[in-house]
Amino acid sequence: MTTKNKAVFLDRDGVLNEEIGTYVWEPAKFIICPGVPESLARLKAAGYLLIVVTNQAGIAKKLYTATEVRACHAKLQAACDDAIDALYFSDAHPSVSDSILRKPESGMLEKATARFNLDVNQCWIVGDRLRDMEAGANAGVRGILVGEEEGVDFAPHVADLRAATAVILGQ
C-alpha 51: how far from its chain's center? 6
Q: At 106, which amino acid appears? A: S
CB 103 within 8 A of CB 139: no
Collapsed DSSP state (helix, strand, coil) of residue 144: strand
* Distance, CA of 91 to CA of 170 (rounded, Å): 34
In degrees rounded to 5, what are phi and psi of residue 8? Answer: -115, 120
- Mark whether 91 is an active-site residue: no
Q: Which of 11, 91, 128, 132 is catalytic?
A: 11
13 assigned to active site: yes
The catalytic residues are 11, 13
